[in-house]
Amino acid sequence: MSSFKKKQKKIAALSKSITVSEERGCIVLRGEADDWSTVVKAGRIAVDRKKYYGVVNNIRLKGFEQSIRLPAEHDDCYDGAKPDVLIIGGGLVGCAAARELARYRLDVMLVEKGSDVAAGQSSRNGGAVHVGINYSPSSQKHRYNHEGNKMFTQLAADLDFPFERTGHLMLIGAKWEKILINVLLLNAKRLKIDGARYVNRSELLEIEPYAPSWAYGALYMPSGGFTSPYKMTVALAENAVANGAKICLNTAVLGMETEDGRIRSVQTNRGRIIPRIVINASGVYADVIAEMAGDRTFTIHPRKGTDIVLDKKVGRYIRTTEVKSPITVIGDGQKLSLKKRIEMIRFALSHENTSKGVAVIHTVDKNMIIGPNNLETPDREDITTDRETTEMIIREQMQAAQQIASSDVIAYFSGVRSPTYEEDFQVRKGIFCENILEAAGIQSPGATAAPAIAKDLARWTVEYLEQSGPVEKNTAFQPIRKGVPHLNEMSESERDALIKQNPDYGQIVCRCEEISKGEILDALRSPLPVYTLDAVKRRCRPGMGRCQGAFCSPSVLQILAEKRDCSVEEIRKSGEQSTILLEKTKGKSV
Ligand SMILES: Cc1cc2nc3c(=O)[nH]c(=O)nc-3n(C[C@H](O)[C@H](O)[C@H](O)COP(=O)(O)OP(=O)(O)OC[C@H]3O[C@@H](n4cnc5c(N)ncnc54)[C@H](O)[C@@H]3O)c2cc1C
């Protein structure tokens, strides 16, 4: 029986109402299902990386309709714009691509439906800069993660965003688990990952003095690190704008007009744009955008992850990123049967494993983040959190970092990853549309990989545009960007000097994070418009400390309203619907 027929049979066993066909080099699924797990299972069964471009899963979930969060703006301010390049999506990939393209004398326009950059996954992740030790050597994840990881030291220095190369650890709980580490080390050799090695418990304690008591040893990977994904996105975007790129916030792509395998125009809520080439960096909507261009060969099946932020006081108990080995069974490791152990090792080493999963991460802001979990969800924009999940994550991670208590939790957040069923990135030139580049399926380790992905996107864009004439280098390109100064990281004499220059730096607005009015005003002078409370947070962190903004939010609102010359009631938390203050009662806004 052919592999296609086998897939048909397996999917029919799942549900009789699903049809499977081969179309344009893809496996296409249609029909209706009662539950989301059937939709995902069918998609997974359909995968054949060797024979097909990908799985186009059009199975509808009964009773579910995706509601896309759209901006409130409806005007024609970009109508008729004719950029050389239109980038869809202001996440890490889109903003990194805009910056790379600003190295050329091109008219670069980026549209983002949110009211700030990093509105999607790029502000909703733990910020681990991954080593990528268990990827398949032939995967795009490996290639881009490996190149991207190496670019961080220089990029962070040029763009003044936080990055620390502290190393990552994978802890094991029993001697037999060293097999896993040895196999991973062999893979590290194949992948040319430098410096990875096994460390026994005493070496582990030198690296992580507070490592859990059950840890027998660890795989130490010195090339791992962590960054602030949202500060990095802002830095890339600001530098792109400073070098001539245009970033249009609150601007959503709603449709496209195509002809003879080419995009003629792109419809947005702010008018029709006529680009020469389009870069699809739209995260969880990448398949929807590819469909508009007639270039869809993949499906995004959203995968939600919740992270928990812990107080800074526990941040000092960990210096690296710690991952519990996927086969560690604490306290019971020795009792497993050989068959079960082999099964678990195979699972742990599978190149097809999905998102990276739970870890304990020391953040650049000295907090600790624990999470995220993995949950398949039909809703691409479901960023809710729930008690059951957060309790599960805390319980699980208390084993990896034994100093954690539930009273240390200061915030939760969720993000939705954008995997394809093939579980690899789809960074490529258009297959059925000549003037689109796809950057799809960019789930973890997408934050690490983004700078390297952007290099390819820029190179292919220039190659395409050069078909109709030379593309000149932007000789005025300035790679250096200076971020907002962080007074809480300065020595007393440095602070004093700044306060003497500008007394606003001496006026503390956020007590938990020690953020001054001067820093907030600097953030508002960004080359990008800063419309919302969350946009201020992404630039200088007021409201991200222990009290989560209970004390400083009114002052930040006031500063933002004065700067924008509007009333405090008009300021939103993030999107249009996130009203903070409704109206005045007794002369005060509530
Ligand atoms: C919980 C979680 C944890 C993660 N942890 C890590 C980690 O530790 N390390 C790591 O390397 N990676 C991690 N990742 C992955 C990483 O965050 C992503 O791979 C990366 O941010 C993807 O960037 P992007 O630009 O492709 O997508 P996004 O950041 O999602 O950007 C896409 C943008 O497109 C916009 N958009 C969508 N549709 C439209 C439209 N029609 N018109 C205009 N704009 C549109 C969206 O609003 C969004 O801002 C994690 C992801 C999640 C969710």
Report residue 227 CA to chain centroid gap.
12
**Which of 223, 234, 288 shows the shortest CA–CA distance to 122?**
234
Q: Where are the domains of the chain?
A: 3-61, 86-163+225-300+418-481, 168-222+301-417, 487-589
Query: Using CA atoms, how far apart are residues 266 and 257, in angstroms rounded to an integer?
Result: 6
- Residue 452 Cα to ligand 1 midpoint, Å, equals 15
Look up residue 250 and give its DSSP letter. S
CA distance 341 to 352: 19
User: How many Cβ atoms are within 10 Å of 406's Cβ, its own excluded?
Assistant: 12
pLDDT at 331 (0 to 100): 46
Q: DSSP letter at 505?
A: G
pLDDT at 446 (0 to 100) = 97
Residue 517, SS3 per DSSP = helix
Ligand 1 mutation target, pool 67, 69, 109, 125, most atoms within 8 A of CB = 125
Which of 426, 447, 204 is closest to 322 using CA atoms?
204
pTM: 0.94
Identify the residues whose C-beta falls under 6 Å from ligand 1.
88-94, 111-114, 119-122, 124-128, 130, 252-253, 281-283, 285, 305, 307, 372, 415-417, 442-448
Taking 90 as the threshold, does the pLDDT of residue 475 lie above it?
A: yes
Confidence band, pLDDT 50/70/90 cuts, at residue 432: very high
145 in Cβ contact with 204 (< 8 Å)? no
User: What gap in Å lies between CA 85 and CA 100, rounded to an integer?
Assistant: 12
- Cβ distance 314 to 322 under 8 Å? no
Rounded to 5°, angle at Cα 128 from 457 and 288? 45
Answer whether residue 414 shows pLDDT above 80: yes
* Per-residue pLDDT tens over the stretch 188-246: 999 999 999 999 999 999 999 988 888 999 999 999 999 999 999 999 999 999 999 99
State in Å: Cα 140 to ligand 1 middle: 17
Nearest atom (ligand 1) to Cα of 111: 43
Query: What 3-state DSSP class applies to 220?
Result: strand
Helix (H, G, I), strand (E, B) or coil at 378: coil
Residue whose C-alpha is closest to residue 427's, from 29, 75, 13, 94: 94
Confirm if 210 and 69 have CB atoms less than 8 A apart.
no
Lowest mean pLDDT among 42-56, 72-86, 302-316: 302-316
Q: Give the C-alpha separation, 113 to 461, whole Å.
A: 23
The full DSSP string for 360-372 is: EEE-TTS-EEEE-
Span from the CA of 309 to the centroid of ligand 1 (angstroms): 19
Asked if the domains at 86-163+225-300+418-481 and 168-222+301-417 fall in one CATH topology, the answer is no
Q: Average of pLDDT values for 476-502?
A: 93
For residue 509, give the H/E element and its range. strand 508-510
Residue 44 CB-half CA count within 13 A: 13
In the DSSP assignment, the letter for residue 386 is -
pLDDT at position 396, please?
A: 79
Question: What are 32's strand-pairing partners?
Answer: 60
Q: How crowded is residue 361: how many other Cβ atoms within 10 Å of its Cβ?
A: 24
Distance 465 CA to ligand 1 centre (A): 27
| Ligand 1 center–CA 120 separation, angstroms | 5
Question: CA of 4: how far to CAs of 21, 28, 29, 48, 55, in Å?
Answer: 9, 11, 12, 9, 12
Average pLDDT over residues 61-76: 93
Comparing 241-245, 368-372, 397-401, 550-554, the range with the smallest average pLDDT is 397-401
Mean pLDDT for the chain?
A: 91
168-222+301-417 CATH: 3.30.9.10
Residue 510 has φ and ψ, to the nearest 5°, of: -100, 110
pLDDT in the model for residue 400:
74
The H or E element containing residue 548 is none
CA gap 225, 580 in Å, rounded: 36
Weakest mean pLDDT among 91-95, 335-339, 491-495 = 335-339
Q: What pLDDT is stored for residue 277 in this prediction?
A: 98
Gyration radius of the chain over CA positions: 24
Q: Identify the pLDDT of residue 149.
A: 98
Of ligand 1's listed atoms, the one at least distance from the Cα of 252 is 42
Phi, psi of 189, deg, nearest 5: -65, -45
Spatial distance between the Cα atoms of 154 and 68, rounded to a whole number of angstroms: 37
Fold of 3-61: Histidine-containing Protein; Chain: A; (3.30.1340)
The larger pLDDT score, comparing residue 154 to residue 314, is at: 154
Instruction: Kindly state the average pLDDT of the residues 476-505.
Output: 93
Give the bridge partners for 163, in sequence order. Answer: 227
What is the average pLDDT across 306-328?
Answer: 80
pLDDT for the residue 325:
66
CA of 458 to the centre of ligand 1 (A): 19
- Residue of 116, 117, 121, 375 with the most ligand 1 atoms within 8 Å of its CB, for mutation: 121
Summarize pLDDT for 576-588 with one digit per residue, the tens. 778 888 887 776 6
Q: Which residues of 125-161 are buried (b: 16+ CB within 10 A; e: fewer)?
A: bbbbbbbbbbbbeebbbbbbbbbbbebbeebbeebbb
431 C-alpha to center of ligand 1: Å? 23
Looking at domain 487-589, its CATH class is: mainly alpha
Give the lowest-confidence range in 24-33, 344-353, 372-381, 527-536: 344-353
Report, as an integer, the average pLDDT of 150-165: 97
- Residue found under tokens 């078909």: 467
- In the CATH hierarchy, which top-level class contains the domain 86-163+225-300+418-481? alpha beta
For residue 233, the model assigns a pLDDT of 98
Predicted local confidence at residue 353, as pLDDT? 53
Place of tokens 């508009």: 292
For 321-375, what is each residue's pLDDT tens digit?
Answer: 777 666 555 544 455 676 766 766 666 666 555 555 568 888 888 888 988 888 9
Tokens of residue 460, six digits: 């292919």
Atom of ligand 1 nearest to the CA of 93: 25
